A and B are shown apart, each in its own frame.
Chain A
Amino acid sequence: MKKQPETGAPDTSGSGRPRGQIAIALTLTLLGFLLATQLRSQQGLAQRLSIERESDLGQILTQLTDRSDQLSSEIVDLRVKLAQASGTQAQQHALIDDARQQLQALQILLGLVPVKGPGIVMVFSDPGGTVGPDVLLDAVQELRDAGAEAIEVSGVRAVASTSFTGSPRSILVNRQPVSAPYEVTAIGPASTLAEAMRIPGGVVDSLAAHSGASVRITEEGSVSILHVAALPQFVHARPTARR
């Protein structure tokens, strides 16, 4: 390589700078590597093809095509097997999920487990002692009609068999005595439940006939019902024999 002409400017052409040298070295190494690789692959190909005659080449082509088809159908088979295997596992999971959901639905229905969700909390105050069990019964009925999925009345889980008996100031919820203020918690669509309480002729309205009684209703994004009911033990009822 010829020497550069001398100039007044500093020599920035890179031959003296180590960083530049390394960069060039690496780049050219890479190039050499690529060249070698490319030459090798071409060489191999040419070698293989050059010793074959045309008819042999045709035969090789057919063989390769057949093999390719074979592999393709193997791929399809393997794919189907894979789908089946994961399907079974997925089916298992789905069955378990279904069974768990069914069990939990029954548990919630019977009031056997604590639940939580959106809903309302109602507090009935009864300074005049005029609120009777019929008020609470009516409230529970209206809540159910409005879509309440779980209800608790002053610490007693209200399920199907929950009765409201007694008289004002000595109300019995499922034979358990409760006292004012009566707190009713219901889980369900909060605004629907609250509205149902406030409709004309509804619970709030009917309280007007009870002197001094009032109710405060709060909608909650999340409320818990912790009290549970006992699993009913049937003494007289038994499953109808299947015919």
Chain B
Amino acid sequence: MLVIVSLFAGIGLGVAFHSAVPFSWAPYLPMAVMAALDSVFGGLRARLEGTFDDRVFVISFLSNAVLAALLVWAGIRLGVQDIAIAVVVVFGVRIFQNLAAIRRILFHA
């Protein structure tokens, strides 16, 4: 319950404050979002498996976001075009894996 509430609270805040991305930060935000989503699904899976640890969740959330941003920054500096795509792929794969596990737990357990 808390999860749903706080998530919508955050969305509400974002809408209410008309937050917009400073142009120079544009490539980093979607990556951070992807990383954060990955953590959320990972956390959800852990919760269903009974291995959820709030500290792990928070730390992995933040570190994933930071790592993703760093990766994109390095890629831009090194001239690797579209490194964002690689990041998206990686997190996408992980999200799908977590979703698969969740599906197994929910529908086969």
Task: Enumerate chain A residues within 8 angstroms of B55, measured Cβ to Cβ.
Answer: 20, 23
For the complex formed, measure the closest distance between the CB of B44 and the CB atoms of chain A, giving whole angstroms. 9
Task: Enumerate chain B residues within 8 angstroms of A24, measured Cβ to Cβ.
Answer: 2-3, 6, 43, 54, 57-58
A29, B9: Cβ atoms closer than 8 Å: yes
Task: Enumerate chain B residues within 8 angstroms of A25, measured Cβ to Cβ.
Answer: 2, 5-6
A29, B13: Cβ atoms closer than 8 Å: yes
Q: Indicate whether A55 reaches chain B with its CB closer than 8 angstroms.
A: no
Task: Enumerate chain B residues within 8 angstroms of A35, measured Cβ to Cβ.
Answer: 10-11, 14, 33
Q: Indicate whether A67 reaches chain B with its CB closer than 8 angstroms.
A: no
**Measured CA separation A19–B57 after assembly (Å):** 13
**Which of B34-73 touch A at CB < 8 Å?**
36-37, 39-40, 43, 47-48, 50-55, 57-58, 61-62
List the B residue with the shortest CB-CB distance to A11: B50
Q: Indicate whether A38 reaches chain B with its CB closer than 8 angstroms.
A: yes
**Measured CA separation A22–B52 after assembly (Å):** 15
Q: A32-B11, A32-B13, A37-B20 are in contact. List 12 more A-B contacts (CB 8 A).
A: A2-B106, A4-B50, A13-B47, A14-B54, A26-B6, A27-B57, A30-B36, A31-B7, A31-B40, A35-B14, A36-B14, A40-B18
**Measured CA separation A2–B57 after assembly (Å):** 19
Interface size class of B (residues with CB under 8 A): 35 or more
Q: Indicate whether B95 reaches chain A with its CB closer than 8 angstroms.
A: no
**Which of B1-31 touch A at CB < 8 Å?**
2-3, 5-15, 18-21, 26, 29-30
- Tell me the number of A-to-B contacts counted with CB atoms below 8 Å: 117
List the A residue with the shortest CB-CB distance to B43: A24
Q: Indicate whether B32 reaches chain A with its CB closer than 8 angstroms.
A: yes
Cβ contacts A to B, 7 pairs, < 8 Å: A14-B53, A20-B54, A24-B54, A25-B2, A27-B36, A28-B40, A32-B8
- Contacts A2-B48, A20-B54, A24-B54 given; indicate if A29 touches B7 (C-beta within 8 A): yes
Q: Indicate whether A218 reaches chain B with its CB closer than 8 angstroms.
A: no
List the B residue with the shortest CB-CB distance to A45: B26
B54, A31: Cβ atoms closer than 8 Å: no
Residue numbers of B with Cβ under 8 A of A are 2-3, 5-15, 18-21, 26, 29-30, 32-33, 36-37, 39-40, 43, 47-48, 50-55, 57-58, 61-62, 105-106, 109
Task: Enumerate chain B residues within 8 angstroms of A34, measured Cβ to Cβ.
Answer: 10, 14, 29, 32-33, 36
**Measured CA separation A7–B109 after assembly (Å):** 16
B10, A30: Cβ atoms closer than 8 Å: yes
Residue numbers of A with Cβ under 8 A of B are 1-2, 4-5, 7, 12-14, 17, 19-21, 23-38, 40-41, 44
Task: Enumerate chain A residues within 8 angstroms of B50, measured Cβ to Cβ.
Answer: 4-5, 7, 13
Selected from B33, B53, B62, the residue in CB contact (under 8 A) with A38 is B33
Task: Enumerate chain A residues within 8 angstroms of B61, measured Cβ to Cβ.
Answer: 27, 31
For the complex formed, measure the closest distance between the CB of A194 and the CB atoms of chain B, giving whole angstroms. 60
Task: Enumerate chain A residues within 8 angstroms of B2, measured Cβ to Cβ.
Answer: 21, 24-25
B7, A32: Cβ atoms closer than 8 Å: yes
**Measured CA separation A20–B14 after assembly (Å):** 23
Selected from A7, A13, A27, the residue in CB contact (under 8 A) with B52 is A13
